[in-house]
Amino acid sequence: MSFRAGNHGYEMSYDCFRLGVAAITYSPLEATDLSKYQEGEPKKLWAQLEPTQKASLRRVAYEMKAGDVIYVKRGPEIVGKGVVGGGSERAYKFDSSGRLKSPDGFPWPHQVPVKWEADFPPVKIFLGSEPLTVKELSPDKLNLLEKAIGNAAQANKQTEALEGEAYSAEAVFRSRNRALIEAKKVNSGYRCEVCGFNFEEKYGVIGREYIVAHHLKLIAGGSSKTTLDDIALVCANCHAMIHTKNPPISIEEMRELVTQH
Protein backbone atom coordinates (compact mmCIF):
# COMPACT_ATOMS: atom_id res chain seq x y z
CA MET A 1 0.00 0.00 0.00
CA SER A 2 1.25 3.48 -0.88
CA PHE A 3 0.55 6.61 1.17
CA ARG A 4 1.75 9.39 -1.12
CA ALA A 5 -0.45 12.44 -1.70
CA GLY A 6 -0.44 12.44 -5.53
CA ASN A 7 2.27 11.07 -7.80
CA HIS A 8 5.01 13.31 -6.42
CA GLY A 9 3.37 14.78 -3.35
CA TYR A 10 3.80 14.62 0.40
CA GLU A 11 4.62 11.20 1.88
CA MET A 12 1.84 10.38 4.38
CA SER A 13 3.34 7.11 5.64
CA TYR A 14 5.15 8.86 8.51
CA ASP A 15 1.84 10.25 9.79
CA CYS A 16 0.13 6.88 9.34
CA PHE A 17 2.84 5.14 11.38
CA ARG A 18 2.52 7.77 14.12
CA LEU A 19 -1.28 7.46 14.31
CA GLY A 20 -1.41 3.68 13.92
CA VAL A 21 -3.56 3.64 10.79
CA ALA A 22 -3.54 2.92 7.08
CA ALA A 23 -5.38 5.63 5.17
CA ILE A 24 -6.58 6.63 1.72
CA THR A 25 -8.56 9.48 0.17
CA TYR A 26 -10.04 10.67 -3.12
CA SER A 27 -11.66 14.06 -3.61
CA PRO A 28 -15.19 13.01 -4.63
CA LEU A 29 -15.54 10.97 -1.42
CA GLU A 30 -13.34 12.77 1.10
CA ALA A 31 -16.37 13.75 3.22
CA THR A 32 -18.40 10.53 2.82
CA ASP A 33 -18.52 7.96 5.62
CA LEU A 34 -18.55 4.73 3.61
CA SER A 35 -19.55 2.67 6.65
CA LYS A 36 -23.05 4.04 6.07
CA TYR A 37 -23.23 2.83 2.46
CA GLN A 38 -23.14 -0.40 0.56
CA GLU A 39 -20.19 -0.98 -1.74
CA GLY A 40 -20.29 1.38 -4.73
CA GLU A 41 -22.63 3.89 -3.11
CA PRO A 42 -23.22 6.83 -3.51
CA LYS A 43 -23.04 5.96 -7.20
CA LYS A 44 -22.66 9.56 -8.43
CA LEU A 45 -19.54 10.05 -6.35
CA TRP A 46 -17.99 6.66 -7.14
CA ALA A 47 -18.56 7.33 -10.84
CA GLN A 48 -16.07 10.21 -10.65
CA LEU A 49 -13.20 7.89 -9.69
CA GLU A 50 -10.79 6.20 -12.06
CA PRO A 51 -10.95 2.37 -12.14
CA THR A 52 -7.67 2.07 -10.20
CA GLN A 53 -8.95 4.52 -7.56
CA LYS A 54 -12.17 2.53 -7.17
CA ALA A 55 -10.20 -0.68 -6.67
CA SER A 56 -7.91 0.82 -4.03
CA LEU A 57 -10.68 2.56 -2.07
CA ARG A 58 -12.87 -0.55 -2.20
CA ARG A 59 -10.11 -2.64 -0.64
CA VAL A 60 -9.70 -0.24 2.28
CA ALA A 61 -13.39 0.50 2.87
CA TYR A 62 -14.95 -2.92 2.27
CA GLU A 63 -12.39 -5.72 2.03
CA MET A 64 -9.75 -5.20 4.71
CA LYS A 65 -10.45 -7.07 7.93
CA ALA A 66 -8.78 -7.66 11.28
CA GLY A 67 -5.67 -9.79 10.96
CA ASP A 68 -4.81 -8.76 7.40
CA VAL A 69 -1.18 -7.77 6.82
CA ILE A 70 -0.27 -4.46 5.17
CA TYR A 71 3.10 -3.66 3.60
CA VAL A 72 3.97 -0.01 2.98
CA LYS A 73 5.63 1.09 -0.25
CA ARG A 74 7.65 4.29 -0.36
CA GLY A 75 9.32 4.84 -3.72
CA PRO A 76 11.30 1.71 -4.67
CA GLU A 77 11.28 0.33 -1.10
CA ILE A 78 8.96 -1.50 1.26
CA VAL A 79 9.37 0.48 4.48
CA GLY A 80 6.73 -0.88 6.84
CA LYS A 81 4.63 -3.86 7.84
CA GLY A 82 1.61 -3.99 10.08
CA VAL A 83 -1.41 -6.05 11.07
CA VAL A 84 -4.91 -4.64 10.68
CA GLY A 85 -6.76 -4.30 13.96
CA GLY A 86 -10.40 -3.82 14.84
CA GLY A 87 -12.86 -6.15 16.44
CA SER A 88 -15.24 -6.58 13.54
CA GLU A 89 -14.99 -8.40 10.22
CA ARG A 90 -14.86 -5.05 8.41
CA ALA A 91 -11.96 -2.96 9.76
CA TYR A 92 -12.87 0.32 8.03
CA LYS A 93 -13.27 3.48 10.14
CA PHE A 94 -14.20 6.96 8.92
CA ASP A 95 -12.17 9.65 10.68
CA SER A 96 -14.63 12.52 11.06
CA SER A 97 -12.23 14.40 13.36
CA GLY A 98 -9.84 15.14 10.50
CA ARG A 99 -6.73 14.21 12.52
CA LEU A 100 -4.94 13.03 9.37
CA LYS A 101 -4.47 15.66 6.67
CA SER A 102 -1.93 16.36 3.96
CA PRO A 103 0.01 19.64 4.25
CA ASP A 104 -2.49 21.38 1.96
CA GLY A 105 -5.27 20.59 4.45
CA PHE A 106 -6.88 17.78 2.42
CA PRO A 107 -8.33 15.07 4.74
CA TRP A 108 -7.43 11.37 4.61
CA PRO A 109 -10.49 10.02 6.46
CA HIS A 110 -10.86 6.48 5.05
CA GLN A 111 -8.81 4.41 7.48
CA VAL A 112 -8.22 1.05 9.10
CA PRO A 113 -6.40 0.66 12.45
CA VAL A 114 -2.98 -0.96 12.12
CA LYS A 115 -0.36 -2.16 14.58
CA TRP A 116 2.86 -1.30 12.77
CA GLU A 117 6.01 -3.32 13.40
CA ALA A 118 8.79 -1.44 15.15
CA ASP A 119 12.29 -1.42 13.64
CA PHE A 120 11.13 -2.75 10.27
CA PRO A 121 14.13 -3.12 7.91
CA PRO A 122 13.51 -1.26 4.60
CA VAL A 123 13.65 -3.59 1.61
CA LYS A 124 14.27 -2.54 -1.98
CA ILE A 125 12.24 -4.88 -4.17
CA PHE A 126 10.19 -4.74 -7.38
CA LEU A 127 6.69 -6.21 -7.01
CA GLY A 128 5.06 -5.04 -10.22
CA SER A 129 4.27 -1.83 -12.05
CA GLU A 130 0.48 -1.73 -11.63
CA PRO A 131 -0.65 1.85 -10.84
CA LEU A 132 -2.56 0.85 -7.70
CA THR A 133 -2.41 2.55 -4.31
CA VAL A 134 -3.62 -0.66 -2.66
CA LYS A 135 -2.44 -3.87 -4.29
CA GLU A 136 -3.13 -7.44 -3.20
CA LEU A 137 0.01 -9.56 -3.39
CA SER A 138 0.02 -13.00 -4.97
CA PRO A 139 1.44 -15.89 -2.88
CA ASP A 140 4.60 -15.93 -5.00
CA LYS A 141 5.27 -12.21 -4.54
CA LEU A 142 4.41 -12.44 -0.85
CA ASN A 143 6.95 -15.23 -0.36
CA LEU A 144 9.54 -13.23 -2.29
CA LEU A 145 8.91 -10.18 -0.13
CA GLU A 146 9.04 -12.07 3.17
CA LYS A 147 12.31 -13.69 2.15
CA ALA A 148 13.78 -10.27 1.32
CA ILE A 149 12.58 -8.89 4.67
CA GLY A 150 14.19 -11.81 6.51
CA ASN A 151 17.49 -11.26 4.70
CA ALA A 152 17.42 -7.53 5.49
CA ALA A 153 16.69 -8.18 9.17
CA GLN A 154 19.55 -10.68 9.39
CA ALA A 155 21.93 -8.23 7.71
CA ASN A 156 20.93 -5.52 10.20
CA LYS A 157 21.60 -7.85 13.14
CA GLN A 158 25.04 -8.72 11.78
CA THR A 159 25.85 -5.03 11.28
CA GLU A 160 24.75 -4.16 14.81
CA ALA A 161 26.84 -7.02 16.21
CA LEU A 162 29.93 -5.91 14.29
CA GLU A 163 29.45 -2.31 15.38
CA GLY A 164 29.04 -3.44 18.98
CA GLU A 165 32.21 -5.48 18.80
CA ALA A 166 34.13 -2.55 17.34
CA TYR A 167 33.06 -0.08 20.00
CA SER A 168 33.53 -2.64 22.77
CA ALA A 169 37.08 -3.19 21.56
CA GLU A 170 37.68 0.57 21.56
CA ALA A 171 36.43 0.79 25.16
CA VAL A 172 38.73 -2.04 26.26
CA PHE A 173 41.63 -0.44 24.44
CA ARG A 174 41.11 2.98 26.07
CA SER A 175 40.80 1.46 29.53
CA ARG A 176 43.91 -0.65 29.08
CA ASN A 177 46.09 2.11 27.61
CA ARG A 178 44.94 5.28 29.38
CA ALA A 179 48.44 6.63 30.18
CA LEU A 180 49.68 5.94 26.66
CA ILE A 181 46.68 7.72 25.14
CA GLU A 182 47.20 10.80 27.29
CA ALA A 183 50.85 10.93 26.25
CA LYS A 184 49.84 10.72 22.60
CA LYS A 185 47.28 13.53 23.03
CA VAL A 186 49.74 15.93 24.64
CA ASN A 187 52.04 15.70 21.62
CA SER A 188 49.26 15.93 19.04
CA GLY A 189 47.88 19.43 19.45
CA TYR A 190 44.51 17.69 19.83
CA ARG A 191 44.03 17.83 16.08
CA CYS A 192 42.28 15.12 14.02
CA GLU A 193 44.79 13.07 12.05
CA VAL A 194 42.27 12.67 9.23
CA CYS A 195 40.72 16.09 8.62
CA GLY A 196 42.74 18.40 10.89
CA PHE A 197 39.75 19.45 12.99
CA ASN A 198 40.46 20.95 16.42
CA PHE A 199 37.60 21.09 18.92
CA GLU A 200 38.92 24.06 20.90
CA GLU A 201 39.28 26.16 17.75
CA LYS A 202 35.64 25.47 16.87
CA TYR A 203 33.93 25.34 20.27
CA GLY A 204 36.21 27.30 22.56
CA VAL A 205 36.95 26.22 26.11
CA ILE A 206 34.48 23.31 26.13
CA GLY A 207 36.47 21.69 23.32
CA ARG A 208 39.86 22.10 24.97
CA GLU A 209 41.98 18.95 25.01
CA TYR A 210 39.21 16.87 23.46
CA ILE A 211 40.00 14.24 20.82
CA VAL A 212 39.07 10.58 20.25
CA ALA A 213 41.63 7.79 20.50
CA HIS A 214 41.27 5.18 17.77
CA HIS A 215 43.06 1.83 17.94
CA LEU A 216 44.64 1.00 14.58
CA LYS A 217 44.86 -2.74 15.29
CA LEU A 218 41.89 -4.97 16.04
CA ILE A 219 42.07 -6.33 19.60
CA ALA A 220 41.98 -10.11 19.45
CA GLY A 221 41.42 -10.62 23.19
CA GLY A 222 43.70 -11.00 26.16
CA SER A 223 46.52 -8.58 26.87
CA SER A 224 48.39 -6.93 24.04
CA LYS A 225 51.29 -4.55 23.84
CA THR A 226 50.36 -1.13 22.46
CA THR A 227 52.73 1.62 21.28
CA LEU A 228 52.14 5.25 20.29
CA ASP A 229 52.13 4.14 16.65
CA ASP A 230 49.09 1.93 17.34
CA ILE A 231 46.96 4.96 18.25
CA ALA A 232 45.37 7.50 15.93
CA LEU A 233 43.70 10.62 17.28
CA VAL A 234 40.61 11.63 15.34
CA CYS A 235 37.53 13.82 15.67
CA ALA A 236 34.19 12.23 16.55
CA ASN A 237 32.87 12.53 12.97
CA CYS A 238 35.85 10.81 11.38
CA HIS A 239 35.80 8.15 14.08
CA ALA A 240 32.17 7.34 13.33
CA MET A 241 32.91 7.12 9.60
CA ILE A 242 35.95 4.89 10.20
CA HIS A 243 33.66 2.35 11.86
CA THR A 244 31.04 2.27 9.10
CA LYS A 245 32.86 -0.75 7.67
CA ASN A 246 34.33 -3.93 9.09
CA PRO A 247 37.27 -4.02 9.26
CA PRO A 248 37.40 -0.26 9.96
CA ILE A 249 38.49 2.14 7.22
CA SER A 250 42.16 3.03 7.47
CA ILE A 251 43.36 6.52 8.34
CA GLU A 252 44.93 6.84 4.89
CA GLU A 253 41.68 5.89 3.14
CA MET A 254 39.74 8.35 5.27
CA ARG A 255 42.16 11.15 4.36
CA GLU A 256 41.60 10.39 0.68
CA LEU A 257 37.81 10.47 1.15
CA VAL A 258 37.98 13.80 2.99
CA THR A 259 40.24 15.27 0.31
CA GLN A 260 37.86 14.16 -2.47
CA HIS A 261 34.91 15.86 -0.81
For residues 173 and 106, state if they share a domain: no
The domain boundary, picked from 136, 166, 193, lies at 136
Residues 163 and 125 in one domain: no
Q: Does the structure show a pLDDT above 90 at 197?
A: yes
Three-state DSSP state, 103 = coil
Tens of pLDDT, residues 161-185: 555 555 555 565 555 566 677 777 8
Strand partners, 80: 72
* Same domain for 115 and 17: yes
Domain hosting residue 30, numbered range: 13-136
Quote the pTM value: 0.58
Does the residue 194 lie in any domain? Answer: yes
Does a structural domain hold residue 1?
no
Sign of CA dihedral 70, 76, 23, 110: negative
Reply yes or no on whether the pLDDT at 209 is more than 60.
yes
Same domain assignment for residues 110 and 215:
no
Residue 145 inside a domain? The answer is no
37 with 117, same domain: the answer is yes
Query: Mean of the pLDDT values across residues 107-128?
Result: 87
In this structure, is residue 63 part of a structural domain? yes
166 or 207, higher pLDDT? 207
- Any domain includes 149: no
Q: How far is 137 from 147, CA to CA, in rounded Å?
A: 14
Return the biggest CA–CA distance within the chain: 82
To the nearest 10 degrees (0 to 180), the angle between helices 178-186 and 139-176 is 80
Residue 163 placed within a domain = yes
Cα distance between residue 100 and residue 14, in whole Å:
11
112 and 188 belong to one structural domain: no
Provide the number of structural domains found in the chain.
Answer: 2
C-alpha span between 212 and 197 (Å, rounded): 11
Are residue 105 and residue 172 in the same domain, yes or no? no
Is it the case that residue 65 has pLDDT exceeding 80? yes
Supply the pLDDT for residue 33. Answer: 96
Contact of 40 with 67, CB cutoff 8 Å: no
Buried b (16+ CB within 10 A) or exposed e, 15-33: bbbebebbbbbbeebeebe
* pLDDT recorded at residue 32: 96
Q: Check whether residue 171 and residue 247 sit in a common domain.
A: yes
CATH number of the domain at 28, please.
Answer: 3.10.590
Residues 236 and 205 in one domain: yes
28 shares a domain with 115: yes
The Cα-based distances of 244 to 151, 193, 236, 247, 255 in angstroms read 20, 18, 13, 9, 15
pLDDT (mean) for 65-93: 88
Is residue 93, in this structure, part of any structural domain at all? yes
20 & 132 share domain: yes
Residues 202 and 99 in one domain: no
- What is the 3-state composition of the chain as percent helix, strand, coil, each rounded to the nearest 5? 40, 15, 45
- Looking at residue 229, its pLDDT comes to 79
Distance CA 255, CA 131 (A): 46
Of 101, 136, 171, the last residue of a domain is 136
Does some domain include residue 7?
A: no
